[in-house]
Amino acid sequence: MDAFVKQHCRAAKYDILSGGANEDLSSREGFHTLLLKGLRLMTFALVMCGPPCSLFIFLSSSQHLRHLYGAMGSPWDVPTQLANIIAGNMACFLHIIKIARKPWIVVEQPKGSWLLKLPRVLDLISTCKFMRGHQLEKATTLVGDLPGLKSLKRVITKKKREHYKKIRAKKNQPPMYIVTERGVHGTRHLAKSAVYPTRFCTALAKLWLRDLREHQGYQGLPSSY
């Protein structure tokens, strides 16, 4: 959010960690809070979504079992089904706000995330004609309809990966995952990878402003924005 403020834009966040129950997307109250925020958007605003990915990725496959039961995962695992509810409500909100305010939308998930294969999310991608772009060091996928989204794409090479690995080692940063004979396992530090790099946020903010200025229907930011 700070990256957009630095570009002299107004921004608002929706996060259960800071907003508590009022920003719990799995509840009716939380959905209404998000909807009210969304209805304040101007046309061609940017909605950036980073829904929880922990129960959609390979590292938690032994719990969600999506590789066995399909995209919806284990019907008996409560956390997995709660994750599905949050993702479904996000897709529902984006459908509504796309019709009501016509913003641009970007959804971020790790590469291979099952969230992007859920029926409601696939319907959203199909309806809004989303495209993919950008790959961070942890192989991140951005899906959205921001016109210049594909220009953010970065391909991580083996050489670059080793370079970043050495940087983390010099800073004594603990590993976020470990590789054993049984496979790849996330450590308790894995959650830190959910924080977006400053350079990425700045690049996204500048791209949105560029697309906004170049868009045929753009008449300038309203004075009240």
Structural domain spans, the chain: 2-212
pLDDT digits (tens, 9 = 90+) for 96-108: 999 999 999 999 9
Residues 9/2, Cβ–Cβ less than 8 Å: no
| Burial of residue 174, with CB atoms counted within 10 A of its CB: 0-12 exposed, 13-18 middle, 19 or more buried | exposed
pLDDT tens by residue, 78-137 = 999 999 999 999 999 999 999 999 999 999 998 889 999 999 999 888 777 676 655 455
